[in-house]
């Protein structure tokens, strides 16, 4: 009479966790899919895609004057972190190899490499959260750049900003950072509504994005709170 191999403690712990994750994810997907505009969800997916973000960041880096604090304290970390995120998320996906939810329409998502077909962790979530984190940690350089940005902006844009914010640059920057964080949260949650990922994929991806931002800033020897 054969004997089944003993189950490891890790396997016994992960199996119910993964089952619970799948159940919650399906419930959220079923609940939000009918009410969330699909065009907005796909737009969020597009804006957080590496094929869109990296060329945009690279272009902004080269058109920004070398003397601007935005170039060294924001755009350079964003570019560096984009490459770290691309390699790290791909490596984790390759090692874990979790399948995407079966109820998602993955045929409409154009994967570039084979690891994009795996679900854990969410690369869109990690990308959105490292972008939001780097903007947050670069708050002071952004504030320092506001006068220069105002001088370069079109008068109608400046007038619109003053109409809503007034002359308070701090309030304007805080509002901008709030909107960036809302974009990151909306992007992460949209992955569940689209059926691209499970909740655990999103949570781990978001946490990795914040850690990647911190690592990037430390590696590039930037002072976060100076």
Pick from 198, 209, 31: nearest CA to 100? 198
> Can you give the pLDDT at residue 222?
47
> Can you give the pLDDT at residue 1?
43
> Can you give the pLDDT at residue 33?
92
Pick from 52, 44, 73: nearest CA to 193? 44
Torsion sign over Cα 131, 136, 138, 142:
positive
> Can you give the pLDDT at residue 179?
95
pTM of the predicted structure, to 2 decimals: 0.84
> Can you give the pLDDT at residue 9?
47
> Can you give the pLDDT at residue 12?
65
* Residues 173, 146: Cα–Cα separation, whole Å: 8
> Can you give the pLDDT at residue 68?
83
* Residues 204, 96: Cα–Cα separation, whole Å: 13
> Can you give the pLDDT at residue 162?
62
* Residues 105, 83: Cα–Cα separation, whole Å: 28
> Can you give the pLDDT at residue 161?
60
pLDDT in tens, the chain (226 residues): 444 445 544 456 678 888 999 999 999 999 999 999 999 999 999 999 999 999 999 999 998 888 888 888 899 999 999 999 999 999 999 999 998 998 877 666 666 667 888 899 999 999 999 999 999 998 888 887 776 666 665 566 556 566 655 567 777 888 889 999 999 999 999 999 999 999 999 999 999 999 999 999 888 754 444 4
């Amino acid at each position: 009479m054969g004997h089944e191999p003993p189950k490891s403690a890790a396997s016994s712990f992960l199996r119910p966790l993964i089952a619970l994750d799948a159940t919650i994810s399906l419930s959220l997907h079923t609940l939000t899919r009918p009410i969330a505009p699909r065009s907005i969800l796909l737009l969020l997916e597009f804006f957080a895609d590496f094929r869109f973000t990296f060329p945009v960041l690279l272009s902004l880096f080269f058109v920004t004057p070398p003397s601007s604090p935005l170039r060294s304290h924001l755009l350079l970390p964003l570019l560096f972190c984009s490459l770290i995120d691309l390699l790290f998320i791909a490596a984790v996906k390759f090692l874990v190899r979790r399948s995407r939810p079966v109820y998602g329409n993955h045929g409409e998502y154009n994967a570039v490499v084979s690891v994009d077909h795996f679900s854990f962790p969410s690369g869109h979530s990690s990308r959105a959260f490292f972008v939001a984190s780097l903007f947050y940690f670069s708050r002071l350089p952004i504030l320092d750049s506001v006068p220069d940005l105002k001088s370069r902006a079109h008068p109608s844009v400046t007038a619109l900003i003053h109409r809503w914010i007034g002359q308070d640059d701090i309030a304007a920057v805080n509002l901008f950072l709030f909107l960036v964080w809302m974009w990151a949260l909306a992007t992460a949650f949209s992955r569940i509504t689209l059926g691209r990922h499970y909740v655990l994929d999103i949570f781990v991806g978001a946490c990795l994005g914040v850690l990647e931002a911190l690592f990037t800033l430390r590696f590039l020897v930037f002072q976060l709170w100076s």
